[in-house]
Chain A
Amino acid sequence: MSFTLYVGPQHPSLKEPEHFKFEVEGEEVVKADIRLGYVHRGIERAMQDRSYPQNVYLAEHICGICNIVHSATYCQTIERLAGIDPPDRARYIRTIILELERIHSHLLWLGVAAHEMGFDTLFMLSWRDREKIMDIREMISGSRIHSAMNTIGGVRRDLRQAHSLKITEVLDEIEKAAERYLEIFASDRAIIARCEGVGILSKKSAVDLCAVGPTARASGVKVDIRKEDPYAAYEETPFEIVVENGGDVLARTLIRIREIFESIEIIRRALDMLPKGPIRERFVPQVAKAEAVCRSEAPRGELLYFAMSNGTERPERVRIRTPTYANVLSWQEMFKGCTIAEIPVVMWSIDPCFGCEDRVTIVDLDKGKTYSLSRQEMRKWSASTS
């Protein structure tokens, strides 16, 4: 006899509002149903009221973790629509910041995955390494999260020699750290016990349900948009597509750690080959009637933007299909057969970002100690800054 278990929308595991309905028999989950729409903001409709350059920022604010890939894909789609090509230096700079974003997203994922398993030490260590990437992003673009670097026709800021040196230094440190994480995840018995054989998605299901990104690659589907439909400078910076065959949480974890190594290689090649020249091409705001589709490989999977213009300076239609949207059906499939205790681990394993949210997930840490600042102390440091 089955029993229905509701999880959410105030989540115990993800700090994002979604509603799950699990039908369980004893400890085993038989069916899962996911309810979306808690952070639906009507962005596709809002884009029809704003001009093309203003929409770059609306696209960027869809998600905090993967904001660069959203604005880059939007800019590429409008560049295709208007028939302009960004200069070479801009394409290489886009590749560098896109891969830096992939590294930061995977390190964030790694930390929260370790936290879900109860391994808080690894959570702290991986987020400490992630801070180095965030400092680089602040140095290059002016802000840790919303970089505002992409614009239609190219990028807004240039990469200086001093920046390249610092990036190379940090990449060496991240590479050593990632090697250590790979060792830990591949050999630690407790992690393997929690991840191996859990949340299995077979290759047939992954293909039928049109899964994308690391979720599909962990089930043996060898697809990566950076190789199939190259954009930015990915044709000139070769890399390997990382595939695993397990289809379980362990496979999805190992893929993300191994992708960090590939990203580091891509950034190193791009920095070596960075051409000189302008960083921006002129864009005339009125776009004649046309249609364009562009896809890119976000850290979570294939991101698709479709735009249609109507001769004015506002788009007729912009369609955004985010990778988590494509993976929801596979997600429901993965829960079948896992126990209730494994639910948080499986939930986080596809790296969900609902409709891509606009804030990074914040984790509260219970230090076991609380402290408070008196009003005088707060006034003192606040007065010293204004």
Chain B
Amino acid sequence: MASAIFDVIKNLFRKPATVKYPYVRVEPPDGFRGRPIIDKDKCIKCWLCISVCPNKAISVDRETEKPRIWLGRCIFCGECASSCPTRAITMSKQFELATFDKEKAVSR
């Protein structure tokens, strides 16, 4: 274990590898697969998203008659976004989705 003493001393002069999250935010890169966002104006109700979803997380919302994604089942794979012909579903950069309220864990 003593052979690593030089690495330990070198590390004293390096800046820390950790980021002081949650006080310092790190922006995820472009193309990050976060929460899917539905743009209701672009949706043409083809329901391709429902048939493609691997985990059956998308259903038809009763009020808006547009897709409704339940984030409890969503695996954030982005198949709905890539198969939507009008780009109505996009994957945003939001990843802090933990909540106590089940109604908030929905995208519609």
Contacts and interface: CB of A to CB of B under 8 A. Distances in A.
Note whether A and B form a binding pair. Answer: yes
Interface of A: 50, 53-58, 61, 119, 121-122, 125, 128, 131, 138-139, 141-143, 146, 148, 156-157, 180, 183-184, 187-188, 190-191, 381-382, 385-386
B3 A183 contact: yes
Contacts, number: 69
A143 B101 CA distance: 25
Q: Is the interface of B mostly helix, strand, loop or mixed?
A: loop
A190 B3 CA distance: 10
A146 B23 contact: no
Given A119-B1, A125-B7, 12 more contacts: A53-B54, A54-B54, A58-B54, A119-B4, A122-B4, A143-B33, A146-B76, A148-B78, A157-B31, A184-B3, A190-B1, A381-B23
Contacts of B54: 50, 53-58
Interface string B45-63: 0000000101100000000
Contact of B91 (A53, A57, A142): A142
21 contacts: A54-B54, A57-B55, A57-B77, A57-B79, A61-B75, A119-B1, A121-B7, A125-B4, A131-B17, A143-B76, A146-B75, A146-B76, A148-B77, A156-B78, A156-B82, A180-B7, A184-B4, A188-B4, A190-B2, A191-B1, A386-B96
A194 to B, nearest CB: 10
A188 to B, nearest CB: 5
B22 A381 contact: yes
A188 B75 contact: no
B85 interface: no
A121 B11 CA distance: 10
Contacts of A131: 17
A227 B80 CA distance: 37
B3 A57 contact: no
B8 interface: yes
B32 A121 contact: no
Given A50-B54, A61-B75, A156-B82, A138 B4 contact: no
Interface string B21-43: 01101001101110000000000
Contacts of A183: 3
A151 B78 CA distance: 12
Closest 8 CB pairs of A and B: A142-B33, A57-B54, A54-B54, A148-B77, A381-B22, A188-B3, A128-B17, A139-B29
B26 to A, nearest CB: 10
B52 to A, nearest CB: 7
Nearest to A140: B31
B84 to A, nearest CB: 14
